């Protein structure tokens, strides 16, 4: 299935340009979802839980945490749900139930995620969206754990990955059904036609948010994007979107990727930086 190219029709492209997002039904099979989830489980299992002690409980914990985050550009680093750790840095739940997400170079470093990311189908999807000679900027695996899966407040992905020309393109893959109960995505249709409200900038080894527009998002315009396991959602880089807390008993695993065209320019003051010897690559 992933060996076959996908062709978006005109209506789909038009819908994407009008609304800023596009749901693609059955992008991948249930088997692919299971394989990616199984691999994610193995990676979490291999992750040394003692790292939590060094990163999340040292005296300079905020500095250490920031560094761990910044260093994740070309590695696989793990981040916890806010409610997963007690004050001493001990896990309140099993490790597999505590990870919020991991990234941001899964697509380069892990063979299973690499194969999925660099499949023929993926390349044809990105080509169909008009991105020539695309580069893969980052990958993330998001767990949205049962009961404690944290809210992601309304944002534009362009805030975190800013490009000189066209905004970044994101694709979100549902590895499990995403519903109102377990914290599906929400978005403001057409909201991508507005401007970018903020940028998350890197300065040396720290970060800061630069605000251009303080007007709050009109959350009454949000619509839920409930999707089935195997569906994909393309997200325009300026589309306002969010997801609510997962209070349910079900997890909501998803994999995400961000792309840019080869002739676009990735600005050097973005938070995520690749080493010169390890640049972004394409398919």
Residues that bind Fe ion (CB under 5 A): 157
- Least Å distance, CB 154 to Fe ion, is 9
- Least Å distance, CB 86 to Fe ion, is 28
Which runs of consecutive H residues, i.e. helices, occur in 60-102?
A: 61-70
The closest residue (CB) to Fe ion is 157
Which run of H or E residues covers position 24? strand 21-24
3-state SS track over 191-247: HHHCCCCEEEEEECCEEEEEECCCCCCCHHHCEEECECCCCEEEEECCCCEEECCEC
Would you say 81 or 157 has its CB closer to Fe ion? 157
Would you say 6 or 242 has its CB closer to Fe ion? 242
Query: Which own/partner pairs from 9-15 qualify as long-range (CB within 8 Å, at least 24 positions apart)?
Result: 13/128, 13/129
- 187, 229, 232 from 222: Cα distances, Å: 5, 22, 19
Would you say 55 or 235 has its CB closer to Fe ion? 235
Would you say 230 or 237 has its CB closer to Fe ion? 237
Would you say 110 or 157 has its CB closer to Fe ion? 157
Q: Which two tokens stand for residue 283?
A: 């398919």
- Least Å distance, CB 256 to Fe ion, is 8
- Least Å distance, CB 242 to Fe ion, is 8
Would you say 21 or 56 has its CB closer to Fe ion? 21
Q: Is the peptide bond before 104 cis (omega within 30 degrees of 0)?
A: yes
- Least Å distance, CB 47 to Fe ion, is 23
Cα-based angle 84, 89, 90 (whole degrees, multiple of 5): 70
State how far the Cα of 128 lies from the Cα of 7, in Å rounded to an integer.
Answer: 7
- Least Å distance, CB 193 to Fe ion, is 17
């Amino acid at each position: 299935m992933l060996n076959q190219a996908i062709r978006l029709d005109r209506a789909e492209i038009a819908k994407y340009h009008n609304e800023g997002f596009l749901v693609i039904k059955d992008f991948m099979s249930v088997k692919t979802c299971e394989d990616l989830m199984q691999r994610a489980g193995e990676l979490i299992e291999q992750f040394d839980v003692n790292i939590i002690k060094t990163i999340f409980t040292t005296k300079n914990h905020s500095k250490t945490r920031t560094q761990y985050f910044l260093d994740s550009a070309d590695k696989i680093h793990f981040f916890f749900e806010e409610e997963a750790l007690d004050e001493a840095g001990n896990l309140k739940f099993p490790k597999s139930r505590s990870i919020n997400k991991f990234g941001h170079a899964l697509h380069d470093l892990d063979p299973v995620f690499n194969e999925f990311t660099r499949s023929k189908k993926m390349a044809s999807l990105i080509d169909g969206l008009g991105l020539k000679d695309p580069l893969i900027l980052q990958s993330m695996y998001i767990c949205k754990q049962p009961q404690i899966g944290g809210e992601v407040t309304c944002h534009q992905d362009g805030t975190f990955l800013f490009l000189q020309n066209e905004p970044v393109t994101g694709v979100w893959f549902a590895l499990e059904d995403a519903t109102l109960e377990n914290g599906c995505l929400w978005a403001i249709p057409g909201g991508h036609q507005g401007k970018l409200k903020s940028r998350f900038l890197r300065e040396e080894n720290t970060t800061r948010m630069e605000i251009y527009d303080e007007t709050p998002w009109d959350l009454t315009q949000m619509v839920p994007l409930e999707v089935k396991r195997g569906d994909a959602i393309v997200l325009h880089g300026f589309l306002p979107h969010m997801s609510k807390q997962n209070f349910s008993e079900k997890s909501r695993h998803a994999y995400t990727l961000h792309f840019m065209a080869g002739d676009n320019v990735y600005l050097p003051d973005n938070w995520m930086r690749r080493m010169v010897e390890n640049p972004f690559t394409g398919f």
